[in-house]
């Protein structure tokens, strides 16, 4: 466990968390701070535009971080991916290329790149093992984002092979929690449901109409669990292959909707609009590799939803 000792022993090591204001980055910052790390490098988009190569090079030359967690990305749901495909592929490729390359050139000890479960083929075996990557066609609705993320994984592998650079990748399942995006048009399914049920409750609506049939199976991971796994991997993993990070538990969208409805306290009816698309029929990650390394998720979906709704009421609701 020498790797663990080196990461956890130096609490003053400079750690650049790219994307620290997002759902994932903010959770990683909370986790690192709770563990006593005192030298986190945090830059807003206004301070440092990660799509600009010269700005990223200058930042790394000046700051010389020891560790990098790459949680910055252009993200969104089906609607956003369909509407802004150029943004999803270009911005993510630019961010990844600039940060991974600068990390190598400026002596970073280790970088952890965060991807997404959408990298896997639409009809991948379930649960999805790491080796399902590039084994079939992607879900068309988010292939722009997925192709960028796959390139990020491959870039980490290539820099390890050619340069001996300690670049690792983690692929989380569907995430939720504090600092999630609750925007009406470009949020993911769980925050979208929470926002809509809350609005319906406040307005006294009789029903909430939800896209699709409610039949797709999904897995959700509270972002604080992901942050715990990220820190675990920084200390305990230095392999070529990416690592899945999931809860190992799946629910139908219908079950999720009922649970969110209960947590929010909406008393009306659920109506399913089956003329609208469902997306991928089932998506469960095989996280046995991470489990074999010694990590498992701890936060139940219900507890996580209660925590998230509490945050939503405090921070988002007008």
Which H or E run includes 114? strand 110-114
CA 210 to each of CA 5, 130, 213, 220: distance values in angstroms, whole numbers, following the listed order: 49, 32, 8, 19
| 124 neighbors 130 (Cβ within 8 angstroms) | no
Residue reference for tokens 């968390």: 17
Q: Quick check: helix, strand or coil at residue 278?
A: coil
- The pair of structure tokens assigned to 210 is 């939800």
Catalytic residue at 145? yes
Cα(97)–Cα(104) distance, integer angstroms: 11
Name which of 295, 170, 287 is nearest 239 in CA terms.
170
What is the rounded end-to-end Cα distance, in angstroms, of the chain? 48
Cross-strand bridge partners of residue 217: 252, 282
Report strand pairing: 110-114 vs 167-172. Answer: parallel
Cα(158)–Cα(168) distance, integer angstroms: 11
- The pair of structure tokens assigned to 55 is 């700005």
Among residues 145, 159, 176, 309, which one is catalytic?
145
Residue reference for tokens 């925050």: 191
- The pair of structure tokens assigned to 239 is 């392999």
- Of how many residues is the chain composed? 318
Catalytic residues: 145
């Amino acid at each position: 466990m020498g790797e663990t000792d080196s990461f956890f022993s130096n609490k003053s090591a400079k750690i650049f968390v790219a994307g620290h204001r997002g759902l994932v980055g903010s959770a990683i910052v909370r986790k690192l701070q709770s563990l006593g790390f005192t030298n986190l490098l945090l830059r807003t988009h206004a301070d440092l535009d990660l799509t600009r190569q010269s700005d990223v090079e200058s930042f790394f030359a000046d700051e010389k971080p020891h560790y990098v967690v790459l949680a910055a990305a252009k993200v969104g749901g089906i609607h956003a991916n369909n509407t802004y495909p150029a943004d999803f592929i270009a911005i993510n490729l630019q961010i990844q290329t600039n940060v991974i390359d600068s990390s190598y050139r400026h002596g970073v000890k280790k970088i952890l790149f965060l991807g997404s479960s959408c990298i896997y083929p639409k009809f991948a075996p379930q649960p999805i093992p790491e080796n399902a990557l590039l084994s079939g066609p992607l879900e068309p609705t988010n292939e722009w984002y997925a192709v960028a993320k796959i390139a990020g994984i491959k870039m980490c592998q290539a820099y390890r092979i050619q340069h001996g650079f300690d670049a690792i990748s983690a692929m989380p399942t569907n995430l939720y929690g504090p600092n999630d995006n609750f925007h009406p048009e470009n949020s993911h399914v769980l925050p979208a449901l929470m926002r809509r049920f809350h609005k319906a409750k406040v307005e006294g609506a009789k029903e909430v109409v939800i896209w699709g049939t409610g039949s797709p199976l999904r897995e959700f991971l509270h972002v604080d669990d992901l942050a715990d796994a990220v820190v675990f991997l920084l200390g305990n993993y230095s392999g070529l292959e990416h690592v899945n990070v999931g809860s190992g538990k799946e629910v139908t969208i219908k079950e999720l909707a009922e649970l969110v409805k209960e947590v929010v306290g909406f008393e009306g009816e659920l109506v399913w609009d089956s003329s609208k698309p469902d997306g991928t029929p089932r998506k469960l990650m095989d996280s046995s590799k991470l489990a074999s390394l010694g990590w498992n998720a701890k936060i139940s979906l219900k507890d996580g939803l209660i925590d998230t709704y509490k945050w939503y009421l405090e921070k988002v609701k007008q």
